[in-house]
Amino acid sequence: MHNATHFFFDQTELLPMSKKAGFKSEELSDDHILMLKIADGNQGAMSDIIDKWKNGLFRFFDRSLRNKADAEDLTQRVFIRIYQSASRYKPKAKFSTYLFTVARNLLIDEIKKRNRAQVSSYYDDWINFNKGERDNGIKEWQEILDVAMQEMPEYHSTAILLRVQRELSYREIAKIMKVSESRVKTWIFRARVHLKESLEHLRA
């Protein structure tokens, strides 16, 4: 499996595509080029985009939803949505900004759906888990953090995950979440304090 960041793109092939998109080919990143190729009907480019981003998206959803199956399903839906909107895609910002904006929109929809369906809370599952179904591979402090993430509002967990997992700048996170940078900083700070307090309580 090759990494998309090391692809070599033929400039003669790129020129008409970048012209069509209204951008100079040298301004485009590898991901932008892959998106233009997808818009042109290139299945190989779609496969490359999936291989490059699937684990990043899956880890983000897995920590946000604390459910592997749902995380996998949402990751799949992000790629399908990207494929469907490839013809309208304009490489205005970094591809990761676009990708995680789509991901966050789907995450919010999923959380709303869950709230409507009144799914049993993760907290209840965790209590049951501690009553004797404990898997030795999972550390206790990770379970505590799972519950702490569950207690957080979505915007706190998304902000801290984008910062720690993706190492995005505050500016990029602000762009994805459509808020100011200062608000993003506050959310990340509060999220970290909440997670710390949960662990400190355990270790006291």
Q: Per CB under 8 A, does 193 bind other proteins? A: no
Q: How far is the CB of 121 from other proteins (least distance, A)?
A: 20
Closer to other proteins by Cβ: residue 119 or 164: 164
What are the CA-CA distances from residue 19 to residues 32, 52, 85, 90 (Å)? Answer: 13, 25, 19, 12
Judged by CB under 8 A, how many residues of this single chain contact other proteins? 33
Cβ within 8 Å of residue 87, ≥6 positions away: 39
**Choice from 13, 164, 171, 201 touching other proteins (CB under 8 A):** 164
Q: Does 196 bind other proteins (CB under 8 A)?
A: yes
Q: Binders of other proteins among 42-71, rule CB under 8 A?
A: 43, 46-47, 50-51, 54-55, 58-59, 62-63, 68
* Contact indicator for 64, 161 with CB cutoff of 8 Å: yes
Sign of the Cα torsion 195, 169, 166, 77 reads positive
Piece in contact with other proteins (CB under 8 A), picked from 14-22, 74-82, 88-96, 109-117: 74-82
Smaller CB distance to other proteins: residue 14 or 67? 67
Site residues for other proteins, 93-122, by CB under 8 A, read none
At its nearest, how many Å lie between other proteins and the CB of residue 177? 17
Closest CA relative to residue 88, chosen from 18, 21, 177, 13? 21
Give me the residues that bind other proteins (CB under 8 A), please. Answer: 1, 43, 46-47, 50-51, 54-55, 58-59, 62-63, 68, 72, 75-76, 79-80, 83-84, 141-142, 145, 160-161, 164-165, 192, 195-196, 199-200, 203
